[in-house]
Structure 1
Amino acid sequence: MAFSRYVALGDSFTEGVGDPDPTRPNGLRGWADRVAEVLATRDPDFGYANLAIRGRKLTAIIAEQVEPALALQPDLVTVYAGANDIVRPTVDLDALAEEYDVAVGKLASSGARVVLFTAFDPGSGGIYAPIRGRFALYNEHVRAIADRHGATIADSWRVAQRLPHGVTANDPRLWDVDRMHLGPAGHQLTAMMVLDALGVAHDLQPLPLPDLPTLSRRERLRADAAWTRGYLAPWIHRRLTGRSSGDTVEPKFPTIGRVVSPGGE
């Protein structure tokens, strides 16, 4: 399968937050860039745009990114929207799914191959465990939307099937220090998942993972307290004040252009 014009839509997940690269716009690489790098090796005229902006909820992603994406005439579109809605105190997932369905229908009717994502399984522990049921319901909506419009599913919920032995989806080595975004190893695995879902051959391999440190109970509590002060409290404050981490952020690659090689080469 070959593609010549790829446009990525979404929020921080697609923008690449957690996968730093100071040589790139917004200082980020991310799974979508990694996918584009592979696809570019198959077509010398390949072009890539990334319209994703951190903090965006589903309605904003649809309103701000779908029409600009269609104007770029892509033959491949990836969309991940809804994660920032799921974690709000209250959310009407059925109503959001109706919006999502219409937007995916527009993208699919353009003739582009559309890739949708299920949310990862937060498991029975961790900060998202209390709303695990929301994640599962969201995923059922995504699967139904994909069925209606012939979209491809990149199945994050089942990503454990491709993880190295002994590694779970909640393994901290796959996540950024903020515990909310994937780290480089997580972005690499996501890129592999997307390429596999598309049937695109690639040479990507999981990134090496360091050994997990053994922490005492006191050290874990100290680390949790530091994370609460440094990441959770600011996130809650933004929610309470109606602000977003993406309020002053622009898309990394707003138009179709040449793919940036690793390291900015």
Structure 2
Amino acid sequence: MSARHAWSRYVAIGDSFTEGIGDPDPTVPGGHRGWADRVAEVLAARTDDFSYANLAIRGRLLGQIVEEQVEPALALGPDLVTVSAGGNDIIRPGSDPDELAERFDGMVERLRSGGASVVLFTGPDVGMTPVLGMVRGKTAIYNENLHAIALKHGALVADMWALRVLRDPRMWAPDRLHHSPTGHATVAAAVLDALGVDHGLDPVTPEPLEPRPWREARVEDLGWAREYLVPWVVRRLKHTSSGDGISAKRPDLQPVAGTSDTP
């Protein structure tokens, strides 16, 4: 067995990124595996009596995560918390990354109050994607604020912006908003690196993609817009969320089967 670590009660909070959307797996709670499950599996293999809860729900805004997930997470008595929040706010018109960071600061202070280690995430550099690319500047400002918050409160950072491999389209699910299984495995490795935990999730460096004919790319873009972008816009107009009616996939701390570090 690899070197042991200090954590035995891990709670993940956040939105679709942490829920694991884009990485379907009918064998796990909620039907999506994701990076947090992978991190828990590796941690479980390196200590005794390990347990894991995941309170994240797709579509949640920062305010909802603060109101709905922070206190339930603390009530579980975690010694490790991962939190990713604000991404759904950033992509909304008129959102202010500095104002969001002020609320994030208070959330991290509260999560650290019980002595738990806290890992937070910068947003990835998504300049290459059609929708998220429009908020690249706001994401960069938010990220700088998050680094300052982590330094202030002694939190750890999994720096997605610095993880340049995430710019590869194969790291993203067909909706271009969530990570693919390969992307989730790459994020899991980055989290474990931030924690200083040995793992066998080797970084993925895909071979360069062959250039595609312009017409083929435009047809694919139109298909994506029809299947994913239009429903997303309609939800914004109707003030509904993909997470309406969805419950947390692991609301309580539960044992986790250790992994051999397979992706």
Query: Normalising to structure 2: TM-score of the pair?
Result: 0.92
Q: Give, in angstroms, the shift of residue 235 of structure 1.
A: 0.3
Q: Give, in angstroms, the shift of residue 261 of structure 1.
A: 6.2
| Equivalent residue, structure 2, for 1:231 | 228
8 Å Cα contact 2:61/2:89 also seen in 1:
yes
Question: 2: distance between equivalents of 1:253 and 1:158?
Answer: 30
1:179 and 2:183 correspond: no
| Equivalent residue, structure 1, for 2:31 | 27
Question: 1: distance between equivalents of 2:103 and 2:208?
Answer: 43
2:86 corresponds to which of 82, 85, 88: 82
| Equivalent residue, structure 2, for 1:248 | 245
| Equivalent residue, structure 2, for 1:166 | none
Query: Normalising to structure 1: TM-score of the pair?
Result: 0.92
Cα 1:148–1:117 change in 2 (3 A) is: same
2:112 corresponds to which of 88, 108, 111: 108
Cα 1:260–1:223 change in 2 (3 A) is: farther
Q: Give, in angstroms, the shift of residue 132 of structure 1.
A: 1.2
User: Which shows bigger deviation, 15-24 or 211-220?
Assistant: 211-220
Question: 1: distance between equivalents of 2:128 and 2:110?
Answer: 36
8 Å Cα contact 1:116/1:146 also seen in 2:
yes
1:221 corresponds to which of 196, 211, 218: 218
SS at match of 2:162: helix
Q: Give, in angstroms, the shift of residue 95 of structure 1.
A: 2.0
Q: What is the root-mean-square deviation in Å for CA atoms of aligned residues?
A: 1.7
Unaligned runs of 5+ in 1: 164-168
* Paired amino acid for 1:159: L
**Residues 33-112 of structure 1 correspond to what in structure 2 (within 5 A)?**
33-112=37-116
Question: 2: distance between equivalents of 1:124 and 1:69?
Answer: 35
Q: Give, in angstroms, the shift of residue 126 of structure 1.
A: 3.6
Question: 1: distance between equivalents of 2:158 and 2:115?
Answer: 19
8 Å Cα contact 1:2/1:39 also seen in 2:
no
Question: 2: distance between equivalents of 1:21 and 1:144?
Answer: 36
Q: Give, in angstroms, the shift of residue 23 of structure 1.
A: 1.0
SS at match of 2:119: strand
- Identical residues among aligned pairs (%): 56
- Deviations for 1:100-131, whole angstroms, at most 9, x for unmatched residues? 11111011111000001111112366432232
Question: 1: distance between equivalents of 2:68 and 2:90?
Answer: 19
Q: Give, in angstroms, the shift of residue 206 of structure 1.
A: 3.9
| Equivalent residue, structure 1, for 2:16 | 12
SS at match of 1:156: coil
SS at match of 1:145: helix
Unaligned runs of 5+ in 2: none
